[in-house]
Structure 1
């Protein structure tokens, strides 16, 4: 018979919390000894009797290893109890054998039931559970081995799938990571970044920000029709014979060196200035697959390491100005009055022959026609804008590029050629806005309200403070509204349809008007601009954070960096400094003798790529 007494007696073997215990005394409560010699007082219902004993020590309970197969076969089809199972397994019913039988029963693979009534499990259930347990054990071994590799600063190819959970956290696509938790890391993007770099899953200078903000990772793969096909679809302004031939005018596309998407060029014909813009709407029709893709992206994504295009590169290859011998364009012909105001605007599909120049090359030719003539017109237009309240804020700006692994940071110089191009592009934007306003063509106008106070700041600190008063510009469909910063009462962005969706939409509206078709309604334009702005904001965020990342990489590669910072703001305990060669803001402890616009000698103290931060100290 099995041992099933209501209250175990002194010296008997019981189970307490799945572990063996020896009964020392019985009363209202039972005093037991557990492994390690510790004693406890427990209720009778808290223990399960296994053997009447006597048990003199818990240290020698372990029975010899046995194979339960034979006992399982002998009991197949019957019911038994713990005593018989112990005898079948070990040939005896000692406390050790009873404990061994209990372990086989509680393990639940071969037998099931209670100490009083147990039975062998079905063979198929045993095989199923055994396979599941072996798989679980194998997974646990693999998990432990992976964690050990990661602790050692390495990973295996078999770990890649598991490390994707860490990557999701590092790119803000997830919130938790079992791996980070197991290794004792905090569960946040910076910790995930550190681990992925430490084990070599990511390169030491990996840029996580485009993925982190949700920006596109590749160029669009939407098929692009050829110009000939597009001309057949829109014969009124598609064929070369239907375009105004301006190839006799020298047209110059001036841009940064290395630019790969030239979408504007300039020329002059007597009193008329021409701003030629790539005729992107010729290939990208409203509601086409190309247009929908551009709308979702909103703008080109310019990263220091590469450019991800709003439109497939094949569009630029066919329409980029100066990339072919003759380029189709939408040309804005503009004349100014004596005060520099726009007097007349022509909008014409055209053919142009474009020469590409860098800003440096254009600066060397500023005294020569046609650039000398264009510069005079641009200066007249600029003077009018300034008279109307335009604000010019000259804060440091740099170009950050990664070229063959090298981080190249160059200041953006306010050269004559750059100023010339800026003014003529603004002029084209105003001309397009006034043309559409006069003809009630719905387009997105760019507007900006005036700040709370109006100044003409001088000095870097004053310009820094004044810029912070500015409200962001926004798009408004309907009647144009003033753009304070530009000093213009009507303005739209129309000169970069290869790079910005809003410019493309203006071109599509102009094309519909020129063809005699019905343009989109104001409601349709507003909805499309709203959709595109989400993608454009994502692109700007990715660009801003990526530029900072690569600046930090540059500093990390140059730990002995030193230079100067200009005090642009004094707070209660901190001073905000602008480092002009890097166009980088930093904060240091303020001192009583610090003054705005004071130059402070700085040295690099620390760079933390994972956090996206760096610290400087005052030299000397």
Structure 2
């Protein structure tokens, strides 16, 4: 005797070996023996043999007309034998009955299982919906297959063009478009971005990086809403100065300038003038909401995304030949020792005499020329006085920094400026700490520190950058944090540091300028009328949002600078290049700020120079492959060893995507970045060796 039975949701047939109570010992066609309970047996048959029955039953199942079978079944629950009699017109034989069971079991949209061998026909409305769903899936499968074939031929289907960025950056993984995309990438063994580039969905690798950033950080687009630009205030006193700014040639948001007035008794008054857009922007108005949404101007080689609309920037920027609103800090100095005799903060209109540019002055304003009073350039005498004070300011900061227990800063690292014109990149080396940079940096740091104290003395909160000043957590690691109260910035060597000198391009500075002006105009009552009151929760929200945006913008600029470094390699046809060892396997090219991690690099001293063979690179994932050609015996790049020290311990100043996050090209930010990195490196070094350890030669 043979049995047809159900086991674990599957149907099998075998010959009976023995029976014991309510169970059979059955041998399957494969030779395997199985214990089958009586209640699981659906058919007992003598012929054909078990293996033949299964083969013939499967054939019968494929020949059964499911639609006709569904019509025959009616709406009541039934057993398979009952339905078999109706469908076949006679009591079904073993092969027919087994075939019917298989057909019922494999058609769940037509028949619902109700028990062993018992079923019920699906309601008509449910069946139609299920059949429509199946047909839809069939059509989608055909469309998906068509997409895949197009993509494998590097042609982007029309329906995918509008979804190109979404497929790359935020895909719906249940959509047929994404499934087709993933299938094509697997078939071609290529990365999604590479396939999109080859199919024409991306214009270039640069387009990929920019589009990814905009998709994530500016999902609503870059356009500003239409809003009226406020008129310049006409009730401000006009300063009796002729101010001038010092910026890179690409700078359009000119928000800081200087003036020099010689006084009697060997005294001089130096003015630090900061553009005052806050006189036209009020908290929570349309312009404020725009600035707060962006938090900062975004910088990249050859382009930028401004925090404020161009029309407002043009209105408030400190352009040559214009008189513009400014927040001015006047510092009266004794020229014998350059000590500060007094400071005064004013809200006024400042006449701008000139916008000086690094590109025109860097070769003229050198330490040697300043020492010898050589060269001719605009505002030469004023620059000479500012230079003398800047040296004293730097010396004072370094003394205070050392008083905090930190090593002196190393300022002879090399910076790089990127200039892009019609997709042709120029990368220009500039030694950090050049006179013009130092002047701007020192005076801006002085202003930020002075105004930070000014707010604190008036009991008005602001946004400060702090580093160190404690015994645990952030402070112990010398990591920079943003706080809403005055706190030391040990890396810079100041007792407090409030970003206040870039209100056209940094939202924290805009907020602080509101607070400073409130102090100037209201004195002791400032805490009652300032836009942000003490412990204002919104101030903490601004700090959190700014840090997130600033980090994202920094990462983006790092990526874009690395992209342009790779473009430079292609443009200049550079394959064998010189590099300097920063630490272990991390190197930086000498001519451009491209960081390369060379696995298996022999152990050599930091600052040593090597020659590399650039094998290949990828402008999409920004990877570089290189091999070591030879060790060079001399170090030709001054300052490399000091730069290498900055990456000791944790790699705080470099990563595999480029140099430190100096995404604002002003001297103040560069000086600040160097001070913070140096302080972090000091902390890492001390934690690694211990303050009491001594190093032997």
Please confirm whether the aligned pair reaches a TM-score higher than 0.5, indicating the same fold: yes
Q: 1:84 to 1:305 in 2, by over 3 A?
A: farther
User: Are residue 348 (structure 1) and residue 356 (structure 2) matched?
Assistant: no
Query: Which of 384, 392, 407 lines up with 2:392 in the alignment?
Result: 384
**Residue 286 of structure 1: SS of its match in structure 2?**
coil
**2:239–2:351 contact (8 Å) kept in structure 1:** yes
Which runs of 5 or more residues in structure 1 are unaligned?
A: 1-8, 172-176, 232-237, 453-468
User: Are residue 527 (structure 1) and residue 540 (structure 2) matched?
Assistant: yes
Counterpart Cα distance in 2 of 1:196 and 1:417 = 45
Counterpart Cα distance in 2 of 1:419 and 1:554 = 29
Query: Which of 252, 256, 268 lines up with 1:264 in the alignment?
Result: 256
Counterpart Cα distance in 2 of 1:16 and 1:144 = 37
Query: Which of 234, 238, 245 lines up with 1:244 in the alignment?
Result: 238
Q: Which residue of 2 aligns with 1:207?
A: 209
How big is each residue's C-alpha offset from its partner over 1:539-566, in whole Å with a ceiling of 9 and x where there is no partner?
3333334433443454467775322122
Q: Which residue of 2 aligns with 1:4?
A: none
Counterpart Cα distance in 1 of 2:487 and 2:123 = 82
Q: Which residue of 2 aligns with 1:55?
A: 48
Which runs of 5 or more residues in structure 2 are unaligned?
A: 173-177, 263-267, 366-374, 399-408, 631-697
How big is each residue's C-alpha offset from its partner over 1:62-115, in whole Å with a ceiling of 9 and x where there is no partner?
137454444444443566543453455455634553344224422133344567
Q: Which residue of 2 aligns with 1:458?
A: none
How big is each residue's C-alpha offset from its partner over 1:497-542, in whole Å with a ceiling of 9 and x where there is no partner?
0111222122112222333363344433963663333333333333
Matches within 5 A, 1:214-613: 215-216=217-218, 218-219=221-222, 221=224, 224-228=227-231, 238-239=233-234, 241-246=235-240, 249-270=241-262, 271-295=268-292, 297-304=294-301, 306-322=303-319, 325-338=322-335, 339-346=337-344, 347-353=346-352, 355-363=354-362, 367-368=375-376, 370-390=378-398, 391-400=409-418, 403-414=421-432, 415-433=434-452, 435-436=454-455, 441-449=460-468, 471-475=478-482, 477-479=484-486, 481=488, 483-489=489-495, 491-516=497-522, 518-519=529-530, 520-524=532-536, 527=540, 530-531=543-544, 532-552=546-566, 554-555=568-569, 560-569=574-583, 574-588=584-598, 589-591=600-602, 594-608=604-618, 612-613=622-623
Counterpart Cα distance in 1 of 2:358 and 2:210 = 32
Counterpart Cα distance in 1 of 2:122 and 2:606 = 84
Counterpart Cα distance in 1 of 2:9 and 2:160 = 36
**Residue 32 of structure 2: SS of its match in structure 1?**
strand
**2:165–2:211 contact (8 Å) kept in structure 1:** no
> Which has the higher mean CA deviation after the structures are superposed, 526-535 or 469-478?
469-478
Q: Which residue of 2 aligns with 1:235?
A: none
Question: Offset at 1:372?
Answer: 0.9
**2:236–2:347 contact (8 Å) kept in structure 1:** no
**Residue 582 of structure 1: SS of its match in structure 2?**
coil
Counterpart Cα distance in 1 of 2:141 and 2:10 = 24
**1:210–1:216 contact (8 Å) kept in structure 2:** no
Q: Which residue of 2 aligns with 1:234?
A: none
Counterpart Cα distance in 1 of 2:340 and 2:477 = 27
Q: Which residue of 2 aligns with 1:110?
A: 110
Question: Offset at 1:224?
Answer: 4.2
Counterpart Cα distance in 1 of 2:110 and 2:608 = 82
Counterpart Cα distance in 2 of 1:487 and 1:374 = 26
Q: 1:82 to 1:487 in 2, by over 3 A?
A: closer
**1:13–1:51 contact (8 Å) kept in structure 2:** yes
Q: 1:71 to 1:618 in 2, by over 3 A?
A: closer
Q: 1:103 to 1:610 in 2, by over 3 A?
A: farther
Q: 1:383 to 1:259 in 2, by over 3 A?
A: closer
Q: 1:603 to 1:341 in 2, by over 3 A?
A: farther
Counterpart Cα distance in 2 of 1:87 and 1:164 = 60
Counterpart Cα distance in 1 of 2:317 and 2:98 = 84
Question: Offset at 1:445?
Answer: 4.6
**2:194–2:620 contact (8 Å) kept in structure 1:** yes
**2:209–2:620 contact (8 Å) kept in structure 1:** no
Counterpart Cα distance in 1 of 2:109 and 2:323 = 81
Matches within 5 A, 1:75-86: 75-76=73-74, 80-86=78-84
Question: Offset at 1:291?
Answer: 3.2
TM-score between the two structures when normalised by the length of structure 1: 0.76
Q: 1:488 to 1:105 in 2, by over 3 A?
A: closer
**Residue 270 of structure 2: SS of its match in structure 1?**
strand
User: Are residue 619 (structure 1) and residue 629 (structure 2) matched?
Assistant: yes
**1:298–1:310 contact (8 Å) kept in structure 2:** yes
Q: 1:265 to 1:413 in 2, by over 3 A?
A: same
Q: 1:48 to 1:167 in 2, by over 3 A?
A: farther
Q: 1:165 to 1:52 in 2, by over 3 A?
A: farther
Q: 1:427 to 1:364 in 2, by over 3 A?
A: same
**Residue 227 of structure 1: SS of its match in structure 2?**
coil
TM-score between the two structures when normalised by the length of structure 2: 0.68
How big is each residue's C-alpha offset from its partner over 1:564-618, in whole Å with a ceiling of 9 and x where there is no partner?
122333xxxx3443323222333444446x3343221122134355654324322
Question: Offset at 1:129?
Answer: 2.2
Counterpart Cα distance in 1 of 2:77 and 2:455 = 93
Counterpart Cα distance in 2 of 1:577 and 1:148 = 43
**Residue 310 of structure 1: SS of its match in structure 2?**
coil
**1:334–1:431 contact (8 Å) kept in structure 2:** no
Question: Offset at 1:301?
Answer: 1.8
**1:273–1:374 contact (8 Å) kept in structure 2:** no
Counterpart Cα distance in 1 of 2:601 and 2:76 = 86
